[in-house]
Amino acid sequence: MTHVEQRATLADLYQSTGKAELVGGTIVELMPTGRKPNRVAFRIARSLDDFAQETGKGEAYTDNMVRAGASKWIGYSGRPQSHLVL
């Protein structure tokens, strides 16, 4: 008998506790980052915000923000994250 593992969905992600991402059909719990990754993420967010302000297009946000109508961000595991919404 073949065992087929079911892929996680957004509904599963919304049910998870703590900070997590949906990556390739798997819910990945996120660990806190250290000083250096946090500084890198800040610089990325600052650069994105500068671009948004200069062009008048989009808004930049740092990590740990909840979008209206959503309780989780979807992204890549293990990388500092900043978001530019156009």
Residues 5-61: pLDDT tens digits?
Answer: 889 998 898 888 878 888 999 999 887 778 898 888 889 989 999 999 999 988 887
**Does residue 74 register a pLDDT over 50?**
no
65: confidence class by pLDDT, cuts 50, 70, 90: low
* 44 in any annotated domain: yes
* 4 in any annotated domain: no
pTM over 0.75: no
* 5 in any annotated domain: no
Residue ranges making up the domain that contains 54: 10-85
Instruction: Give residue for tokens 């390739």.
Output: 24
**Residue 34 corresponds to which tokens in the numbers above?**
């250290």
Domain total of the chain: 1
The CA-based angle 7-10-16, given to 5 degrees, is 90
* 49 in any annotated domain: yes
* 80 in any annotated domain: yes
Helix H or strand E encompassing 49: helix 35-55
* 42 in any annotated domain: yes
